[in-house]
Structure 1
Amino acid sequence: MLRSRFVWQIPAVLLVAITVLVLGNEYAIASSSRRTKNIPYVTPNVPDFDVDRNVLDVYQPNQRQAIGRPVVVFIHGGAWDSGSKNLYAFIGRRLAKQGVVAVLINYRLAPSVTVPDMADDCARAVIWTQTHIAEYGGDPSRIFVMGHSAGGGLAALIATNDQLFTKLGAIRNPIKGAILDDPGGLDMFDYLTKMEYSGDEKYLVPFGKNPAVWRDVSPLYYVRADSPPVLMYAGEHTYPGIASSTRKFNQRLQDLGVKHEFTILPGKKHVGMVTQLFWEHNIIYRDLLRFVGA
């Protein structure tokens, strides 16, 4: 009986030990950075301001340096109708610990708005970053965007579609490169035209029913020879639509001579492609630090 009891106690002891190690690790990482949260990136008195969604958090390294640090704006995923920057604080902390100023943003979601509005929000967050990031130790001339899933598609869209910035009064697109982690929505025109998979109708809520809009928010059709460089990753076992569109996007980048790297990570599923970023020495971080010049 005693032996049986002891065997059942082992998992609990291990769980406590793991919890202590994880919390200790998180405290050590958090202590090396500062977080300023819920900063509005849209003037609160504009008609479309959303108090919960038009805000961002800035993570900056505690250690100051004479020159500005590279900046990564992270856009969360969630199928264009869910998700929050608050779920990805670990990414902000890990980037800051490694010498990057991280900006994690919220944006408005379906069904309240559609993807064109979400893209506008992301562009407005980048413009805020360009204007204010020097106050947090960042270099406004070295802004990169990063995203997972739907956030990866939005990151690709604002990196390639300069009109999203010029219509907001910017002289040029300030984005210097994009890091796309298992991105969704790279070619929604093709995806929604075919409707190959069960449940695809749900995407007609964020994207609407007009094929012209599907094309307008598909990054594939904005890539040019002078588009900013791209780091792109896909999981070996990700969703078929993402597997197909990342290959197509990679081919487009290659055909136009855009500087890029495309890596398929063995054994990874879609969710695992973002949860792996919990680990500081993950391959994506290693590549990213080189990419942004941290």
Structure 2
Amino acid sequence: MGTLPVVLTVFVLLIVTTATGWARPSKRTRDIPYLAPNTAGFDPERHLLDVYQPRRKSATPRPVVVFIHGGSWNSGSKKIYWFIGRRLAKQGFVAVIINYRLAPAVEVPAMADDCARAVGWVASQISAYGGDPSRIYVMGHSAGGGLAALLASGPTVFTRNGLPTGLVKGAILNDPAGINMYDYLQKMEYPDDRKFLIPFGKEPAGWQAVSPQYQVQAGAPPMLLYTGGRTYPSIIKGTEEFHQTLQKLGVQSQYRVIPGRKHVPMVTGLFWKNNIIYRDLRDLAKP
């Protein structure tokens, strides 16, 4: 997971060279602050988002997808994921690609707060970009998948930020990391696992508080879950157990394993318009 931004940067450079002939069916509005600059703790780089909206007119507001990037909770940027914004817009969504603060500057609860506040901005402002504030979906890969799961699991993150609950109508979790960090960090099975104590802290109660496996509640919105067949074992285990928990709670969920796919290709594969995740998302977002 630590090599994710480097590999993605190489991938983006490659697709830029092959995509120069793309028509631009979408409009990108970059670097919109989702917090007022006078907000305490405002970060002029990390509290920004980009909006991708279809140029084609629509008689009705479009569903909205908020994408949360990965990067081991200590790296990553919305700039890398423009191809996801373009693809989503081409398929009829208003896409919002966000930044959020990273470790070591902050720990995961503050990252979740940033993501929730970005969703709050979307709910109040996205109609100006043709989006439907009543149909907001959160989507994330790796660490971003864990944060998206946390937003969808219950109202806690929204209520502590003074935001309405029920803003998220569904979640798309692509090879999500951090679903059960309470279990993962107690085991410390791998040599470099102590690095995760920087974003997650050293207290088991804190690990549990940011683990969707322990925070998800009955009544959570529908979730689509995906793992690569050759991804990290902890991601497979955490996603499988989370899917089982969702089913026990009566939460609508669907879990797919993409055969042969490793962790990074699970997100780079979203460059291709026929990716199964886009197909499932279109079905989820139907009125």
Q: Normalised by the size of structure 1, how large is the TM-score?
A: 0.91
| 1:215-234 to 2 correspondences below 5 Å | 215-234=208-227
Distance of 2:16 and 2:217 partners within structure 1: 49
Give the secondary-structure state (helix, strand or coil) at the position aligned to 2:206: helix
35-44 vs 159-168, greater mean Cα deviation? 159-168
In the alignment, is the contact (CA less than 8 A) between 2:154 and 2:217 conserved in 1?
no
Q: Is it true that 1:23 corresponds to 2:19 in the alignment?
A: yes
Distance of 1:292 and 1:54 partners within structure 2: 27
Give the secondary-structure state (helix, strand or coil) at the position aligned to 2:113: helix
In the alignment, is the contact (CA less than 8 A) between 1:189 and 1:214 conserved in 2?
yes
- Give the match for residue 105 of structure 2: 112
- Give the match for residue 240 of structure 1: 233
- AA partner of residue 99 (structure 2): N
Q: Is it true that 1:259 corresponds to 2:252 in the alignment?
A: yes
Distance of 2:172 and 2:88 partners within structure 1: 13
Give the secondary-structure state (helix, strand or coil) at the position aligned to 2:19: helix
Give the secondary-structure state (helix, strand or coil) at the position aligned to 1:127: helix
Unaligned runs of 5+ in 2: 1-13
- Give the match for residue 286 of structure 1: 279
Q: Is it true that 1:163 corresponds to 2:156 in the alignment?
A: yes
- AA partner of residue 264 (structure 1): V
- Specify which of 159, 184, 197 is matched with residue 190 of structure 2: 197
Q: Is it true that 1:174 corresponds to 2:149 in the alignment?
A: no
In the alignment, is the contact (CA less than 8 A) between 2:225 and 2:254 conserved in 1?
yes
Unaligned runs of 5+ in 1: 1-17
- Give the match for residue 79 of structure 1: 72
| 1:122-161 to 2 correspondences below 5 Å | 122-161=115-154
Distance of 1:120 and 1:19 partners within structure 2: 32
Deviation (angstroms), 1:269: 0.4
The alignment of Structure 1 onto Structure 2 pairs a total of residues equal to: 274
Give the secondary-structure state (helix, strand or coil) at the position aligned to 1:48: coil
In the alignment, is the contact (CA less than 8 A) between 1:179 and 1:288 conserved in 2?
yes
- AA partner of residue 81 (structure 1): N
Distance 1:69 1:213, change over 3 A: same
Distance of 1:207 and 1:280 partners within structure 2: 35
- AA partner of residue 248 (structure 1): E
Deviation per CA, 1:94-116: give whole Å up to 9, x if none. 00011000000000000000000
Q: Is it true that 1:38 corresponds to 2:31 in the alignment?
A: yes
- AA partner of residue 258 (structure 2): L
Give the secondary-structure state (helix, strand or coil) at the position aligned to 1:66: coil
Distance of 2:127 and 2:15 partners within structure 1: 36
In the alignment, is the contact (CA less than 8 A) between 1:166 and 1:173 conserved in 2?
no
Which runs of 4 or more aligned residues in structure 1 lie more than 4 Å from their structure 2 counterparts after TM superposition?
A: 18-21
In the alignment, is the contact (CA less than 8 A) between 1:72 and 1:143 conserved in 2?
yes
In the alignment, is the contact (CA less than 8 A) between 2:154 and 2:220 conserved in 1?
no
Deviation (angstroms), 1:258: 0.9
195-204 vs 121-130, greater mean Cα deviation? 195-204
Deviation per CA, 1:198-247: give whole Å up to 9, x if none. 21000000001011110000011122221110000000010011011011
- Give the match for residue 3 of structure 1: none
Q: Is it true that 1:56 corresponds to 2:52 in the alignment?
A: no
Q: Is it true that 1:47 corresponds to 2:43 in the alignment?
A: no
- Specify which of 79, 89, 101 is matched with residue 82 of structure 2: 89
Alignment RMSD, CA only? 1.4
Give the secondary-structure state (helix, strand or coil) at the position aligned to 2:87: helix
Distance of 2:16 and 2:29 partners within structure 1: 26
Q: Normalised by the size of structure 2, how large is the TM-score?
A: 0.93
Deviation per CA, 1:12-32: give whole Å up to 9, x if none. xxxxxx98982245x22xx10
In the alignment, is the contact (CA less than 8 A) between 2:53 and 2:129 conserved in 1?
yes
Which structure would you say has the larger Rg?
1
Q: Share of identical aligned residues, percent?
A: 59
